[in-house]
């Protein structure tokens, strides 16, 4: 979900800024739409590959951590047991609870490994089992769709100011939705959504003014 929010937010802000600049410069709608499509596709491809490389590096590092912890559990069980006990106590478990948990973990080394990674390194084994393409693809698609959202008004037969306002309204609404995570009730943060929309608005205004400046030079 974080990759979708990141990719979508980048697409919305950059798409809005680019189209606003071209609008301010007086560029014909057909050119804006074509440039917007090219920008969205190029940005989506770039977003995919940058996230892919990042994900590959992340998975390689995670695999090293998993293998190291697995080896330590097999070769140094007493030391790993003491580490786990300390981690459980730091998390607020009492002696009786720690004893019960440790009896179960010692009998199930896979569960022991998961708990050690989660509590000591703050990573989940399940993360290593997700595909290397799924998250980068989600980020790339989110960028593409949100960047195109800013372009849609320029495909309509409307006044230049109406196209600008429509592009701004759609993009800022999308930024609020993504930034606030309104689609995840437990993570809903209106202030974050407003901050994200404000960033998009500032970017749009600045690039529009630059476009206007270019048009009179």
**What digits encode the pLDDT tens for the residues 163-198?**
999 999 999 999 999 988 877 778 788 898 899 999
Where among 95, 129, 163 does a domain terminate?
A: 129
Shared-domain flag, residues 146 and 186: yes
Shared-domain flag, residues 142 and 202: yes
Shared-domain flag, residues 6 and 26: yes
Shared-domain flag, residues 14 and 86: no
* Tokens, residue 170: 């759609």
CA atoms of 43 and 37, how far apart (whole Å): 10
Domain that holds residue 24: 2-57+132-216
Number of domains in the chain: 2
146 pLDDT band, cuts 50/70/90, is very high
Label residue 122 left, alpha or beta by phi (over 0 means left) and psi (-120 to 50 means alpha).
Answer: left
Where among 70, 101, 129 does a domain terminate?
A: 129
- What is the model's pLDDT at position 62? 81
Residues 69, 116 contacting (CB under 8 angstroms): yes
**What digits encode the pLDDT tens for the residues 122-141?**
777 666 666 778 888 999 99
Contacts of 171 (CB under 8 A, 6+ apart): 12, 13, 15, 16, 146, 149, 150, 200, 204
**What digits encode the pLDDT tens for the residues 16-68?**
999 999 999 999 999 999 999 999 999 999 999 998 898 888 788 888 888 88
């Amino acid at each position: 979900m974080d990759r979708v929010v990141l990719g979508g937010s980048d697409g919305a802000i950059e798409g809005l800024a680019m189209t606003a600049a071209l609008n301010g410069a007086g560029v014909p709608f057909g050119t804006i739409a074509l440039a917007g499509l090219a920008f969205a596709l190029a940005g989506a491809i770039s977003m995919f590959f940058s996230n892919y490389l990042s994900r590959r590096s992340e998975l390689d590092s995670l695999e090293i951590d998993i293998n190291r912890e697995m080896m330590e559990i097999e070769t140094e069980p007493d030391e790993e047991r003491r580490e786990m006990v300390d981690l459980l106590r730091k998390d607020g478990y009492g002696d009786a609870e720690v004893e019960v948990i440790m009896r179960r973990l010692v009998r199930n080394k896979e569960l022991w490994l998961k708990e050690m990674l989660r509590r000591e390194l703050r990573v989940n084994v399940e993360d290593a089992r997700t595909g290397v393409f799924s998250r980068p693809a989600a980020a790339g698609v989110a960028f593409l769709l949100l960047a195109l959202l800013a372009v849609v008004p320029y495909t309509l037969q409307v006044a230049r100011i109406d196209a600008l306002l429509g592009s701004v309204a759609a993009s800022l609404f999308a930024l609020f939705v993504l930034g606030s995570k309104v689609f995840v009730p437990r993570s809903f943060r209106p202030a974050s959504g407003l901050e994200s929309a404000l960033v998009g608005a500032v970017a749009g205004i600045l690039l529009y003014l630059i476009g206007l400046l270019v048009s009179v030079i």
